[in-house]
Amino acid sequence: MVPLTSLWLPILLAAAAVFVASSIIHMVLPYHRTDFRKVPAEDEVMDALRKFDISPGDYMVPCAGSPKQMKDPGFIDKMKRGPVAFLTVMESGPPSMGASLAQWFLYCIAVSVFAAYIAGRALAPGAPYLAVFRFAGCTAFAGYALALWQNSIWYKRAWNATLKGLP
């Protein structure tokens, strides 16, 4: 077992490496440029939403509010008519890249802390590099890559099941 306090340098180096690599992937390479699509008639959609003065947060349209209401014929009809959307409303104004990048770096440190903790508890001091990499790398992969997969499962499948009348 390796104490977490003795792993502060690898934690910071791993967080910095991920921060730099993700910056290159998102700002230089075209890989993530198609993650989001533009809404048709964007200006009209923005004008329509603006009048509601929706505060920043995550929303669902339509929103049932409870499992019982999900079975309500009115709710099911709304789901069938659409559009069905998950909406994230952010604060208006220019994006604050400095604050977002600072929060991203803190998240990188948090993932690195968990990876170091698991590797430090599972392995003895002086463990072979590949064993350390296996534990820390797998944990870090889970922290970064698996973080949002559940959205693509639940956002599609739960509503398809509701529309088919499944429990």
Contact between 26 and 127 under an 8 Å Cβ cutoff? The reply is no
Q: Specify the pLDDT at position 167.
A: 46
Structural contact between residues 49 and 55, judged by C-beta atoms closer than 8 angstroms:
no
Distance between CA atoms of residues 42 and 55, nearest Å: 19
Q: What pLDDT is stored for residue 166 in this prediction?
A: 47
Asked whether the beta carbons of 150 and 86 are under 8 A apart, the reply is no
- End-to-end, the C-alpha distance of the chain in Å comes to 47
pLDDT in tens, 95-131: 888 999 999 999 999 999 999 999 999 999 999 999 9
The residue type found at 64 is A
C-alpha–C-alpha distance, residues 23 and 115, integer Å: 21
pLDDT of residue 157: 57
Single-letter residue type at 152: S
Residue type, 118: I
Do the Cβ atoms of 62 and 29 come closer than 8 Å? no
- Cβ atoms within 10 Å of 38's Cβ, excluding its own: 7
Which residues on neighbouring strands pair with residue 85, listed in sequence order? 61
Q: Where are the domains of the chain?
A: 4-37+96-163
pLDDT in tens, 14-27: 999 999 999 998 88
d(C-alpha 139, C-alpha 58), whole Å = 28
Mean local confidence (pLDDT), 133-139 = 94
| Residue 165, pLDDT score | 56
The string of pLDDT tens digits covering residues 50-84 is 999 999 999 999 999 898 999 999 999 999 999 98
pTM for this structure?
A: 0.76
